[in-house]
Amino acid sequence: MTTVIDHTAEAVLDPAEIPKKSYLAEVVAATPGVSRLEMCIQCGTCGGSCPSAKDMDHSPRQIFAMIHAGMKDDVLASNTPWYCVSCYFCTSRCPQEIHITDVMYTLKRMAIKANLYDDHTAADLSKTFVNQVENNGRSFELGLATRHYLRHQPMRLVGSATFGLEMLSKGRLDLTPHKIDGLDQLKAILKKAKELDKVEV
């Protein structure tokens, strides 16, 4: 018997078809909106479209198969989400309209919470960036770069000094962070988002 897959279908699988305590259900529930992750047909279009695929230890297709197989620790230890550059090329080309980039963000958050990633470089950069946004409402590039290089690649900081001075001379780099207007409103939004994130699904 031949199974016909309707690639134009708007409806995702019935949630009842996903085992409630499965890792797939956990990832789907943690991804904002409708991820459509359960619709993956393992075609490989995502990996074939990804500009960072050659540096990933697993292609996005493989990561999704691992999620279906319940390989939580292996998924969260993978470098794949950290090499995602959020270009959305995979998402735009996916025949099942899976929100692949959103799933990658979810996996990054899960990896940070579980502390199951080998290379802390990207995660530390992400934490520093988020901390700056929470405190100032925007990134402070000089502080972000300085902290990142001091922690992970101190010798590159010396080599970047000339570039930094050129940016300063052209007024493209600030020496001190600047807070946005309405920072209290942003903090209230972020606080509410964190509260919602803690709600059991």
Q: Where are the domains of the chain?
A: 18-114, 121-194
Tell me what the mean pLDDT of segment 30-41 comes to. Answer: 94
pLDDT greater than 90 at residue 39: yes
Give the closest residue to 98 by CA, choosing from 40, 32, 31, 50. 40
Q: Cα angle vertex 191, ends 27, 85, to 5°?
A: 45
Res. 5 pLDDT band, cuts 50 70 90: very low
> pLDDT tens digits for 95-134?
999 999 999 999 999 998 888 877 777 778 778 888 899 9
pLDDT greater than 80 at residue 157: no
Tell me what the mean pLDDT of segment 21-33 comes to. Answer: 92
Indicate the pTM of the whole model.
0.64
At residue 4, the pLDDT reads: 39
18-114 belongs to which homologous superfamily?
Alpha-helical ferredoxin (1.10.1060.10)
